[in-house]
Amino acid sequence: MGQIVFVGLGLHDDLGISLRGLEETRTAKRVFIELYTSLLPDFSKKHLERAAGKEFREVSRKELEEENGKVVLDAAKDGKVVLLVPGDPLIATTHVALRIEAEKHGIRTHIVHGSSVLSAVMGLSGLHNYKFGKSVTIPFPDETPSQTPYEVLVQNRKLGLHTLCLLDIKAEQKRYLSVHEALSSLLEIEKNRKMRKVMPETLVVGISRAGSNNPMVKAGYVRDLINYDFGEPPHSIVFPGKLHFMEAEALIVLAGAPERIRRMVK
Protein backbone atom coordinates (compact mmCIF):
# COMPACT_ATOMS: atom_id res chain seq x y z
CA MET A 1 0.00 0.00 0.00
CA GLY A 2 1.28 3.46 -0.89
CA GLN A 3 1.35 6.54 1.30
CA ILE A 4 1.30 10.32 0.96
CA VAL A 5 2.80 12.35 3.78
CA PHE A 6 1.76 15.99 3.84
CA VAL A 7 4.59 18.01 5.40
CA GLY A 8 4.29 21.65 6.45
CA LEU A 9 7.14 23.98 5.57
CA GLY A 10 6.26 26.77 7.98
CA LEU A 11 6.03 30.44 7.08
CA HIS A 12 9.29 31.96 5.94
CA ASP A 13 12.32 29.90 4.88
CA ASP A 14 13.77 26.40 4.53
CA LEU A 15 14.40 26.24 8.30
CA GLY A 16 10.65 26.19 9.03
CA ILE A 17 10.26 22.45 8.46
CA SER A 18 10.11 20.32 11.62
CA LEU A 19 12.63 17.59 12.42
CA ARG A 20 9.86 15.02 11.92
CA GLY A 21 9.01 16.56 8.57
CA LEU A 22 12.65 16.48 7.50
CA GLU A 23 12.95 12.82 8.49
CA GLU A 24 9.83 11.91 6.53
CA THR A 25 11.29 13.73 3.53
CA ARG A 26 14.61 11.90 3.81
CA THR A 27 12.92 8.49 3.85
CA ALA A 28 10.44 9.11 1.04
CA LYS A 29 10.61 7.39 -2.32
CA ARG A 30 9.74 10.66 -4.08
CA VAL A 31 9.26 14.23 -2.88
CA PHE A 32 6.89 16.78 -4.39
CA ILE A 33 6.65 20.44 -3.43
CA GLU A 34 4.08 23.13 -4.18
CA LEU A 35 4.90 26.80 -3.75
CA TYR A 36 1.86 28.58 -5.15
CA THR A 37 -0.60 28.58 -2.23
CA SER A 38 1.54 30.87 -0.09
CA LEU A 39 4.74 32.92 -0.20
CA LEU A 40 7.84 31.77 1.69
CA PRO A 41 10.00 34.89 1.28
CA ASP A 42 13.43 33.40 2.05
CA PHE A 43 12.82 29.79 1.08
CA SER A 44 15.64 27.97 -0.71
CA LYS A 45 14.62 24.77 -2.48
CA LYS A 46 18.26 23.89 -3.06
CA HIS A 47 19.18 24.22 0.62
CA LEU A 48 16.32 21.96 1.70
CA GLU A 49 17.10 19.42 -1.02
CA ARG A 50 20.66 19.29 0.26
CA ALA A 51 19.49 18.79 3.86
CA ALA A 52 17.06 16.04 2.83
CA GLY A 53 19.36 14.34 0.34
CA LYS A 54 16.54 14.36 -2.22
CA GLU A 55 15.53 16.25 -5.32
CA PHE A 56 12.06 17.80 -5.20
CA ARG A 57 9.59 17.78 -8.07
CA GLU A 58 7.64 21.06 -8.03
CA VAL A 59 3.95 20.66 -8.86
CA SER A 60 1.82 23.39 -10.37
CA ARG A 61 -1.67 24.61 -9.54
CA LYS A 62 -2.91 22.90 -12.72
CA GLU A 63 -1.45 19.53 -11.67
CA LEU A 64 -2.89 19.65 -8.16
CA GLU A 65 -6.26 21.24 -8.88
CA GLU A 66 -7.31 20.73 -12.49
CA GLU A 67 -5.69 17.29 -12.75
CA ASN A 68 -6.69 16.28 -9.20
CA GLY A 69 -3.11 15.57 -8.10
CA LYS A 70 -2.76 12.62 -10.47
CA VAL A 71 1.03 12.96 -10.64
CA VAL A 72 1.28 12.64 -6.85
CA LEU A 73 -1.31 9.86 -6.58
CA ASP A 74 0.39 7.78 -9.28
CA ALA A 75 3.77 8.09 -7.56
CA ALA A 76 2.25 7.03 -4.22
CA LYS A 77 0.71 3.78 -5.45
CA ASP A 78 3.73 1.65 -4.60
CA GLY A 79 5.65 3.60 -1.99
CA LYS A 80 5.83 6.61 0.31
CA VAL A 81 5.84 10.07 -1.21
CA VAL A 82 6.02 13.41 0.55
CA LEU A 83 4.20 16.57 -0.51
CA LEU A 84 5.86 19.66 0.93
CA VAL A 85 3.41 22.49 1.49
CA PRO A 86 3.86 26.09 2.73
CA GLY A 87 2.50 26.74 6.22
CA ASP A 88 0.36 24.00 7.73
CA PRO A 89 -0.42 21.33 5.12
CA LEU A 90 -4.21 21.14 5.19
CA ILE A 91 -5.19 24.78 5.60
CA ALA A 92 -5.66 25.02 1.81
CA THR A 93 -8.69 23.08 0.52
CA THR A 94 -6.57 21.93 -2.44
CA HIS A 95 -4.64 19.62 -0.16
CA VAL A 96 -7.73 18.37 1.65
CA ALA A 97 -9.16 17.33 -1.73
CA LEU A 98 -5.95 15.45 -2.55
CA ARG A 99 -6.00 13.66 0.79
CA ILE A 100 -9.61 12.55 0.26
CA GLU A 101 -8.79 11.33 -3.23
CA ALA A 102 -5.79 9.37 -1.92
CA GLU A 103 -7.82 7.60 0.76
CA LYS A 104 -10.47 6.69 -1.84
CA HIS A 105 -7.72 5.03 -3.88
CA GLY A 106 -6.48 3.04 -0.89
CA ILE A 107 -3.44 5.24 -0.38
CA ARG A 108 -2.71 5.95 3.26
CA THR A 109 -2.16 9.56 4.31
CA HIS A 110 -0.24 11.13 7.16
CA ILE A 111 0.20 14.76 8.22
CA VAL A 112 3.23 16.50 9.69
CA HIS A 113 1.91 19.86 10.76
CA GLY A 114 3.79 23.11 10.36
CA SER A 115 3.37 26.61 11.72
CA SER A 116 0.38 28.43 10.27
CA VAL A 117 -0.30 32.07 9.47
CA LEU A 118 -3.53 31.67 11.47
CA SER A 119 -1.75 31.05 14.77
CA ALA A 120 1.17 33.35 13.90
CA VAL A 121 -1.11 36.36 13.35
CA MET A 122 -2.86 35.74 16.64
CA GLY A 123 0.42 35.43 18.50
CA LEU A 124 1.99 38.52 16.93
CA SER A 125 -1.04 40.72 17.53
CA GLY A 126 -1.83 39.50 21.04
CA LEU A 127 -5.49 38.96 20.13
CA HIS A 128 -7.12 35.94 21.77
CA ASN A 129 -7.48 32.98 19.44
CA TYR A 130 -10.93 31.96 20.72
CA LYS A 131 -12.36 35.35 19.74
CA PHE A 132 -11.72 35.01 16.01
CA GLY A 133 -14.63 34.39 13.69
CA LYS A 134 -14.59 33.19 10.11
CA SER A 135 -11.46 34.15 8.17
CA VAL A 136 -11.54 35.32 4.56
CA THR A 137 -9.23 35.99 1.62
CA ILE A 138 -9.34 39.41 -0.02
CA PRO A 139 -8.81 38.94 -3.79
CA PHE A 140 -7.20 41.26 -6.30
CA PRO A 141 -10.02 43.69 -7.15
CA ASP A 142 -9.07 43.90 -10.83
CA GLU A 143 -9.39 40.14 -11.35
CA THR A 144 -12.08 38.75 -9.08
CA PRO A 145 -14.33 41.48 -7.63
CA SER A 146 -16.06 40.07 -4.56
CA GLN A 147 -18.32 41.29 -1.78
CA THR A 148 -17.51 38.24 0.35
CA PRO A 149 -14.73 39.77 2.51
CA TYR A 150 -17.00 42.67 3.45
CA GLU A 151 -19.92 40.34 4.21
CA VAL A 152 -17.74 38.13 6.43
CA LEU A 153 -16.54 41.20 8.28
CA VAL A 154 -20.15 42.31 8.84
CA GLN A 155 -21.11 38.88 10.18
CA ASN A 156 -18.16 38.69 12.56
CA ARG A 157 -18.65 42.24 13.82
CA LYS A 158 -22.27 41.44 14.75
CA LEU A 159 -20.92 38.71 17.01
CA GLY A 160 -18.12 40.86 18.40
CA LEU A 161 -15.50 38.60 16.80
CA HIS A 162 -12.15 39.41 15.19
CA THR A 163 -11.76 38.91 11.42
CA LEU A 164 -8.55 37.64 9.86
CA CYS A 165 -8.19 38.72 6.22
CA LEU A 166 -5.58 36.84 4.21
CA LEU A 167 -4.44 38.79 1.18
CA ASP A 168 -4.43 37.17 -2.24
CA ILE A 169 -1.27 36.08 -4.03
CA LYS A 170 -0.53 35.17 -7.63
CA ALA A 171 2.74 33.27 -7.18
CA GLU A 172 3.19 32.58 -10.88
CA GLN A 173 3.00 36.32 -11.61
CA LYS A 174 4.88 37.36 -8.46
CA ARG A 175 1.91 39.52 -7.42
CA TYR A 176 1.04 39.90 -3.76
CA LEU A 177 -1.87 41.99 -2.51
CA SER A 178 -0.76 44.69 -0.04
CA VAL A 179 -2.45 46.16 3.03
CA HIS A 180 -2.92 49.39 1.07
CA GLU A 181 -4.67 47.65 -1.83
CA ALA A 182 -6.85 45.52 0.46
CA LEU A 183 -8.04 48.46 2.56
CA SER A 184 -8.68 50.55 -0.56
CA SER A 185 -10.79 47.72 -1.98
CA LEU A 186 -12.86 47.44 1.21
CA LEU A 187 -13.39 51.22 1.35
CA GLU A 188 -14.74 51.09 -2.19
CA ILE A 189 -17.22 48.39 -1.17
CA GLU A 190 -18.18 50.49 1.88
CA LYS A 191 -19.12 53.38 -0.42
CA ASN A 192 -21.79 51.19 -1.99
CA ARG A 193 -22.89 49.18 1.06
CA LYS A 194 -22.91 52.09 3.53
CA MET A 195 -22.98 49.83 6.60
CA ARG A 196 -20.14 51.72 8.31
CA LYS A 197 -18.01 48.60 8.88
CA VAL A 198 -14.86 49.82 7.11
CA MET A 199 -14.52 53.51 7.80
CA PRO A 200 -11.43 55.76 8.09
CA GLU A 201 -11.80 55.56 11.89
CA THR A 202 -12.16 51.73 11.98
CA LEU A 203 -9.49 49.94 14.05
CA VAL A 204 -7.35 47.53 12.01
CA VAL A 205 -4.13 45.56 12.44
CA GLY A 206 -1.69 45.09 9.58
CA ILE A 207 0.88 42.29 9.68
CA SER A 208 3.65 41.47 7.23
CA ARG A 209 6.19 38.65 7.03
CA ALA A 210 4.74 36.61 9.90
CA GLY A 211 7.17 33.86 10.87
CA SER A 212 10.28 35.78 9.81
CA ASN A 213 12.93 37.38 11.99
CA ASN A 214 11.56 40.85 11.21
CA PRO A 215 7.76 40.73 11.13
CA MET A 216 5.89 44.03 10.99
CA VAL A 217 2.85 44.45 13.25
CA LYS A 218 1.04 47.77 13.30
CA ALA A 219 -2.37 48.59 14.77
CA GLY A 220 -4.24 51.82 14.15
CA TYR A 221 -7.12 53.32 12.24
CA VAL A 222 -7.76 52.65 8.56
CA ARG A 223 -6.95 56.26 7.68
CA ASP A 224 -3.47 55.82 9.20
CA LEU A 225 -2.63 52.31 8.03
CA ILE A 226 -3.79 52.63 4.43
CA ASN A 227 -0.56 54.46 3.54
CA TYR A 228 1.69 52.80 6.14
CA ASP A 229 4.78 51.07 4.74
CA PHE A 230 4.54 47.38 5.68
CA GLY A 231 7.50 46.44 3.53
CA GLU A 232 7.87 43.16 1.68
CA PRO A 233 5.03 40.59 1.47
CA PRO A 234 3.16 38.56 2.48
CA HIS A 235 0.68 40.88 4.21
CA SER A 236 -2.39 40.11 6.35
CA ILE A 237 -5.05 42.22 8.04
CA VAL A 238 -7.09 41.76 11.22
CA PHE A 239 -10.23 43.74 12.01
CA PRO A 240 -10.67 43.45 15.79
CA GLY A 241 -14.12 42.93 17.26
CA LYS A 242 -14.87 43.47 20.94
CA LEU A 243 -11.66 43.79 22.91
CA HIS A 244 -10.71 42.23 26.22
CA PHE A 245 -8.61 44.61 28.34
CA MET A 246 -5.55 42.40 27.78
CA GLU A 247 -6.07 42.48 24.01
CA ALA A 248 -6.22 46.27 24.05
CA GLU A 249 -3.03 46.35 26.12
CA ALA A 250 -1.33 43.97 23.67
CA LEU A 251 -2.27 46.08 20.66
CA ILE A 252 -0.93 49.22 22.36
CA VAL A 253 2.33 47.66 23.59
CA LEU A 254 3.05 45.18 20.79
CA ALA A 255 1.53 46.94 17.79
CA GLY A 256 1.68 50.65 18.59
CA ALA A 257 -2.09 51.16 18.72
CA PRO A 258 -3.33 54.52 20.05
CA GLU A 259 -4.10 54.65 23.77
CA ARG A 260 -7.73 55.56 23.15
CA ILE A 261 -8.57 52.04 21.97
CA ARG A 262 -8.93 51.23 25.67
CA ARG A 263 -12.40 52.73 25.30
CA MET A 264 -13.29 49.76 23.07
CA VAL A 265 -12.86 47.27 25.92
CA LYS A 266 -16.07 45.38 26.68
Name the segment(s) of the chain with CATH classification 3.40.1010.10.
3-112
Name the segment(s) of the chain with CATH classification 3.30.950.10.
117-264
Contacting residues for 40 by C-beta, under 8 A, at least 6 apart: 9, 10, 11, 12, 13, 16, 86
Cα–Cα nearest to 4, from 56, 57, 82, 63: 82
CATH match of 3-112 with 3.40.50.1100 = no
* Mean pLDDT score of the chain: 95
Are the beta carbons of 78 and 103 closer than 8 angstroms? no
- Whole-angstrom Cα distance, residue 225 to residue 183? 9
Q: What band does 172 get if pLDDT is binned at 50, 70 and 90?
A: confident
Q: What is the pTM of this model?
A: 0.91
Are the beta carbons of 227 and 214 closer than 8 angstroms? no
CATH superfamily membership of 117-264: Tetrapyrrole methylase, C-terminal domain (3.30.950.10)
For residue 41, the one-letter residue type is P
Q: Is the pLDDT of residue 143 over 90?
A: no
221-246 pLDDT, tens digit each: 999 999 999 999 999 999 999 999 99
